């Protein structure tokens, strides 16, 4: 007879085998978890972006509308979008009624083409940034993810959404047009459940990414999100937050990052010196560290150095 421990071990082994098989076939294994009445979340991996998981690092929010599912962000590829569409049919036989993109980073909107017959909402600046940068993002994603990306085309959001109270497929939201993680970051508060879908303005237990960041503006956006006092928050990456910790954690990390790079510049350190310095314990355990810290140094340090040492950089 199997002991409980053995049975659990076998279950674990078979789940592992399923996952390995899925990876071999380049199939996304999406598992929505209900986080409120009529609201589900697919939690992305918090590890560093790799082709092992097909770039599935992003969180997706699914909300039940009057006629179908409202999908917030669509993942990194056509295949991911197809998996999402299949899942929507499982949760709600009427399929997807509307799509919203929180911002123009490729892991959040490259599944859009699957929903081309559905309204796809995004901020105006997100739409233009997706047109401007989408092809370069696509080149990079094909290089990083290879076959996972097959057939993926860049489809920017087609419907411009603005700030304020809006109704999408019978569901009421307040939308917040913010920025700082990118040029335009949209957050949405679902009225029925008090769920705030924060996009990548908030990362939780996963290091924030900064390739398009304006850190000062990002901090202002975090203040705005904190003022909402939402019942729960879906970050762009990391677990759902019901303890009001995720905004504070993102703010603390960005404050530390900015301060570390500025004092490093003033002390005459270079990028290699900064990369070799150990991360403080509260940030070292975040997913995708130290890789994201290292990327942030390369994104942000040249400009910070110019600001802190204007004479030296003009010589
Ligand atoms: Zn992002």
Q: What is the 3-state secondary structure (H, E, C) of the chain?
A: CCCHHHHHHHHHHHHHHHHHHHHHCCCCCCCCEEEECCEEEECCCCCCCCCCCCCCCCCEEEEECCCCEEEECCCCCHHHHHHHHHHHHHHCCCCEEEEECCCCCHHHHCCHHHHCCCCEEECHHHHHHHHHHHHHHHHHHHHHHHHHHCCCCCCCCCEECCCEEEEECCEEEEEEEECCCCCCEEEEEECCCCEEEEEEEEECCECCCCCCCCHHHHHHHHHHHHHHCCCEEEEEECCCECCCCHHHHHHHHHHHHHHHHHHHHHCCCCHHHHHHCCCCHHHHCCECCCHHHHHHHHHHHHHHHHHHCHHHHHC
CA of 203 to the centre of ligand 1 (A): 10
Q: What angle do CA 78, 64, 30 make, to 5 degrees?
A: 40
Q: Please state the rounded mean pLDDT for residues 150-174.
A: 97
Calculate how far, in angstroms, residue 216's C-alpha sits from the geometric centre of ligand 1: 16
Nearest to 190 by CA among 74, 35, 32, 30: 35
Task: Tell me the residues surrounding ligand 1 (ion) with CB < 5 Å.
Answer: 105, 200
Of 187, 208, 76, 234, the residue nearest 140 (C-alpha): 76
103 alpha carbon – ligand 1 mean position (Å): 7
Q: What are phi and psi of 32, to 5 degrees?
A: -70, 140
As a whole number of Å, the end-to-end CA separation of the chain is: 78
Q: How far is the CA of 235 from the centre of ligand 1 (A)?
A: 11
Q: Is the pLDDT reported for residue 5 higher than 60?
A: no
For residues 43 and 295, give the distance between their C-alpha atoms in angstroms, rounded to a whole number. Answer: 23
pLDDT at 100: 98
Q: How far does the centroid of ligand 1 lie from the alpha carbon of residue 181, in Å?
A: 7
Q: What angle is formed at CA 189 by the lines to CA 187 and CA 159, rounded to 5 degrees?
A: 55
Q: What distance in angstroms lies between residue 302's CA and the mean position of ligand 1's atoms? A: 21
Ligand 1 centroid – CA 9 distance (Å)? 36
Question: Is 167 a residue whose pLDDT tops 80?
Answer: yes
Using CA atoms, how far apart are residues 46 and 56, in angstroms rounded to an integer? 9
pLDDT higher than threshold 90 for residue 23: no
More confident residue, 25 or 197: 197
pLDDT of 89 > 50? The answer is yes
At residue 315, does pLDDT exceed 80? no
Q: How confident is the model at residue 27 (pLDDT cuts 50, 70, 90)?
A: confident
Confidence category of residue 22, pLDDT binned at 50, 70, 90: low
Could you read off the pLDDT of 227-277 as tens digits, one per residue? 999 999 999 999 999 999 999 999 999 999 999 999 999 999 999 999 999
CB atoms near residue 281 (< 10 Å): 7
Q: Are 250 and 201 in contact (CB under 8 A)?
A: yes
Mean per-residue pLDDT, 137-145 = 91
Residues 151-174: what's their mean pLDDT? 97
> Do 208 and 254 contact (CB within 8 A), yes or no?
yes
* Ligand 1 mean position, distance from CA 195 (Å): 20
- Looking at the predicted structure, is the pLDDT value of residue 33 above 90? yes
pLDDT in tens, 108-125: 999 999 999 999 999 999
């Amino acid at each position: 007879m199997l002991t409980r421990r053995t049975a659990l071990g076998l279950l674990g082994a078979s789940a592992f085998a399923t996952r390995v098989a899925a990876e071999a076939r380049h199939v996304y294994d999406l598992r929505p978890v209900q986080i409120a009445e009529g609201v589900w979340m697919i939690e992305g991996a918090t590890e560093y972006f790799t082709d092992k998981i097909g770039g599935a690092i992003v969180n997706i929010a699914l909300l039940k509308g009057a006629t179908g599912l409202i999908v917030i962000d669509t993942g990194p590829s056509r295949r991911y979008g197809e998996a999402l569409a299949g899942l929507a049919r499982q949760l709600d036989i009427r399929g997807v009624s509307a799509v919203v993109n929180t911002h123009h980073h490729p892991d959040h909107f490259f599944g859009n083409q699957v929903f081309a017959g559905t309204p796809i909402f995004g901020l105006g600046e997100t739409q233009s940034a997706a047109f401007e940068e989408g092809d370069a993002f696509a080149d990079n994603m094909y290089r990083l993810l290879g076959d996972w990306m097959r057939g993926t085309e860049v489809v920017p959001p087609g419907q411009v959404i603005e700030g304020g109270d809006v109704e999408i497929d019978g569901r009421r939201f307040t939308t917040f047009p913010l920025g700082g993680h990118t040029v335009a970051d949209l957050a949405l508060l679902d009225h029925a459940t008090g769920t705030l879908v924060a996009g990548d303005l908030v990362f939780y237990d996963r290091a924030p990414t900064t390739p398009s960041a304006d850190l000062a503006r990002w901090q202002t956006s975090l203040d705005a999100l904190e003022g909402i006092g939402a019942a729960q928050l879906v970050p762009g990456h990391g677990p759902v937050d019901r303890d009001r910790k995720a905004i504070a954690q993102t703010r603390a990390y960005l404050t530390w990052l900015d301060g570390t790079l500025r004092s490093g510049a003033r002390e005459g350190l270079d990028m290699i010196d900064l990369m070799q310095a150990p991360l403080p314990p509260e940030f070292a355990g975040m997913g995708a560290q130290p890789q994201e810290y290292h990327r942030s140094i390369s994104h942000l340090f040249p400009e910070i150095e110019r600001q802190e040492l204007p004479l030296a950089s003009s010589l």
